[in-house]
Amino acid sequence: MIKGLTLVRSVASAEDFERLMSLFEALGFEHGKGWELDGGKGAPFLAPLGNLELVTGRDPKAPPILVEVTELDGVYEVVKSWAASHGAPAPAEIELQPWKARLFTVEPVAGMVLGFWEWDDPVKGKPAAIEGDLVATGMKFAIVVARWNAVITDRLLQGSLDALLRSGVKREDILIIRVPGCWEIPSAARTLAEQKKYDGIITLGLLLRGETAHYEAIYNEVARGIGQSQQETGVPHAFGVLTCETLEQALDRAGVKAGNKGFEAAIAAIEMASIQKKVGA
């Protein structure tokens, strides 16, 4: 069964390699697992979707690498700023394509042309929906993280910070509060939310059934307290408290095999904060 699609492109020099790395990082691509072998190295960058398109009978008039985005105008400004700071040619102007899309191209290194595009009519005849953006420039977030099981919660914290910083949040606009354990998370989150200084609160912790005899009672109260704080203050709270049977399961969910739930919680907080701004909350 087909699982995924990887597009491999060779880069001419180590300098070009680093330039492309900096561009994709500036755009917020997720890093895959890199490799080094026999004097060469690779740096995968991941996207939620990928496809291979074959064309016959006409010139597609499109660059060989196309990146579909949301908020094309914002992406254009990021690429334009990156090009100016790295001495690269400025991106071409955004143009409407015959296939009902808006597109611009850029050549970050010689011989490699990238195209960034979005549908001119993104809803495609479907009912329009308000969705949150993952651009958090100018927003402020607080992270409440439990010290207990720090080998896991520190990984969750790093995942959250990674997501926030990639999305445009300044380091000085992130407040980190460390509490003894999961039981104390709701109280700290409520205190922060009532200050109305933060666009979102991210809660991180770990409850292991094997270590806590009253595991379910604690989890229920922690979940209830965080949910109640969100509902009564109106400030989005992202739930990043893991409940696992074993330490191995927790490690998997903190970046080993099943992604980093701290990263996912921060992304959820950013999206909900964006939605609140869009609906005027």
Q: Express as a percent the part of the chain with pLDDT over 70.
A: 90
The vertex-37 CA angle with 36 and 43, nearest 5°, equals 30
Q: What is the pLDDT of residues 213-250, one digit of tens each?
A: 677 888 888 999 999 999 999 999 999 988 887 788 88
Count other C-beta atoms under 10 Å from residue 71's C-beta: 13
Is the pLDDT reported for residue 126 higher than 60? no
For domain 141-278, say whether CATH 3.40.50.2020 is its number. no
Is the pLDDT reported for residue 111 higher than 90? no
Of 31, 86, 214, 237, which residue is the catalytic one?
A: 214
Residue 170 tokens read as 């300044």
Is the pLDDT reported for residue 142 higher than 90? yes
3-state helix, strand, coil in the chain (%, to 5): 40, 25, 40
CATH class of residue range 14-119: alpha beta
Average pLDDT, the chain: 84
Is the pLDDT reported for residue 210 higher than 80? no
**Most confident segment among 106-120, 122-136, 180-194:** 180-194
> What is the pLDDT averaged over residues 41-61?
73
Question: How far, CA to CA in Å, does 100 sit from each of 4, 97, 113, 120?
Answer: 27, 6, 21, 6
With cut-offs at 50, 70 and 90, classify the pLDDT of residue 189: very high
Cα dihedral across residues 202, 203, 208, 209: positive or negative: negative
Is the pLDDT reported for residue 3 higher than 70? no
With cut-offs at 50, 70 and 90, classify the pLDDT of residue 192: very high
**Annotated catalytic residue 31:** no
Evaluate whether 227 touches 219 at the Cβ level (below 8 Å): no
CA–CA separation, 172 and 141 (whole Å): 10
Domain ranges for the chain: 14-119, 141-278
**Hey, which residues does 30 pair with through a beta bridge?**
46
Q: Express as a percent the part of the chain with pLDDT over 90.
A: 33
> What integer pLDDT is reported at residue 178 of this predicted model?
95
Evaluate whether 278 touches 175 at the Cβ level (below 8 Å): no
